[in-house]
A and B are shown apart, each in its own frame.
Chain A
Amino acid sequence: MLLREVEYARPARVQEALRLLGANDGARALAGGQTLINVMKARAASPDVLVDLADIAELRGIELGSDGTLELGAMTTYTDIIDSAEARARPILGEVCNQIADVQVRNRGTIGGNVCSNDPTNHLPPLLVAIGATMTIVGQAGERSVPADEFFLGVYMTAAGPGELLTKISVPPGKSDGFASVPIGKDGTCIVNVAASLTNRTARLAIGCVDAVPVLLTPDSTEDAAVRKAVHDANLDPPWDVHASAEYRRHLAEVLALRAVAQAAERR
């Protein structure tokens, strides 16, 4: 398919990228392009300017701090995360990235692109909410940190506004995590997904695909009854489509919440 005419720039520095994004209302950051190029073909998005982030070295890489915090550059690909020895400090990250689409998409798609596109069926928004990640956003006004559960604002909308860039995702240490999904075909788009993260006796659950943003739940305990009650009390009103009715998505949310918690509990 032929794309609409577009201008292209590939800056080497974050500040230059911000200048380019700020200079034109129709400018948009291009990360791995595994969503954006396709929506441009469909004309669902028609940016005037693409600001390719590929050459900005400071947006890449994975660092493990002495306190166990993982810092992931926004342009880090799924494959980088899967292959990274450092990223194994939080094993769930590589495990979930390895369930996204296929080799080709994992080679190009980035963690920053995944969360900034904030498609409600994406894997990483609920995961990062459950494990309590923090997003670093820079704009002309400077840098700020936003917790993952405040980052996702709506379908395709995040706290990284026009003219801003997500630069880094920080993940605290931990290992008692789980992720359960029912996808459309193996490693396909999720119908419902649930991420769980346990610390001592508390649980954080984030349910994806049932609302515009991940639904964060904090059940009183990790007992099945408490998890079921938390999902019930959330009064989920999921969308329906050709793949699943709203009722079935509600059912999956409960089943997958239990599975995600069980997986996380095994890893205490």
Chain B
Amino acid sequence: MDPVSRKTITVDVNGERYERELDARRLLIHFIRDDLDLTGSHIGCDTGNCGACSVLVDGTLVKSCMMLAVQADGAKIETVEGLAADGELNGLQQAFSDHHALQCGYCTPGMLMSATALLRENKSPSEDEIRKGIQGNICRCTGYVNIVEAIRAAAQ
């Protein structure tokens, strides 16, 4: 298999199958936002620090600005758009709303995906475990107290 600068990849995003030809240099976040038009996942820092681009790849939480789209070939990807079913917020999203766990909302898609990953592994995380779970996600508006409360409420 010789190196290629363009490649056709197939991914499953939120249960839907997509096949696209793209440049090898394309970041996964650009593929998700620009090629698939799923703009829920955000680009905050573009340096791997802020976590606004967090998605699940084969069930693993990753920052999609630090991964090439070609690396996700064949993967099952979950983004924030996949959380609500039939227009109804899921329990975690509702808890974020109920606890005012967002201000401007820019970090929220990444927070929700990190919390989703955490709660799948740990059904009743402690406050420390919640804080460790969202350590890779930065909120620059208002802090983390309400976010932690929302995740704790969603776990119950």
Contacts and interface: CB of A to CB of B under 8 A. Distances in A.
A20 B65 CA distance: 26
Given A37-B68, A103-B135, 4 more contacts: A5-B23, A37-B65, A37-B66, A37-B67
B117 interface: yes
B60 interface: yes
Contacts of A254: none
A231 B8 CA distance: 55
Nearest to B23: A5
Interface string A45-72: 0000111101000000000000000000
Interface string B124-144: 000000001101110000000
A27 B23 CA distance: 17
A10 B1 CA distance: 8
A101 interface: yes
B67 A41 contact: no
A263 B25 CA distance: 45
B101 interface: no
B20 interface: no
Given A102-B51, A104-B63, A107-B60, A7 B136 contact: no
Contact of A8 (B7, B114, B117): B7
Contacts of A102: 51, 135-137
A232 interface: no
Contacts of B117: 103
Given A1-B46, A104-B54, A34 B5 contact: no
A107 B66 CA distance: 12
Interface of A: 1-11, 16, 20, 24, 27, 30, 33-34, 37-38, 41, 49-52, 54, 101-105, 107-108, 186-187
Given A3-B27, A102-B136, A107 B47 contact: no
A52 B66 CA distance: 14
B3 interface: yes
A77 to B, nearest CB: 9
Interface string B62-92: 1101111011000000000000000000000
Interface of B: 1-5, 7, 23-25, 27, 46-48, 51, 54, 60-63, 65-68, 70-71, 114, 117-118, 132-133, 135-137
B47 A9 contact: no
Contacts of B23: 5
A154 B9 CA distance: 38
B68 A8 contact: yes
Given A4-B25, A6-B25, A34 B66 contact: yes
23 contacts: A2-B25, A3-B25, A3-B27, A5-B23, A5-B24, A6-B24, A7-B24, A8-B7, A8-B24, A8-B68, A24-B3, A27-B3, A33-B67, A37-B67, A37-B68, A38-B47, A41-B47, A102-B51, A103-B117, A103-B135, A105-B66, A108-B66, A108-B67
Nearest to B63: A104
A4 B61 CA distance: 26
Contacts of A8: 3-5, 7, 24, 68, 70
A5 to B, nearest CB: 6
A184 to B, nearest CB: 12
Contact of B46 (A20, A33, A41, A52): A41
Contacts of B135: 102-103, 186-187
A50 B68 CA distance: 11
B47 A104 contact: no
Nearest to B118: A103
A50 B136 contact: no
Nearest to A49: B3
A52 B74 CA distance: 15
A41 B72 CA distance: 19
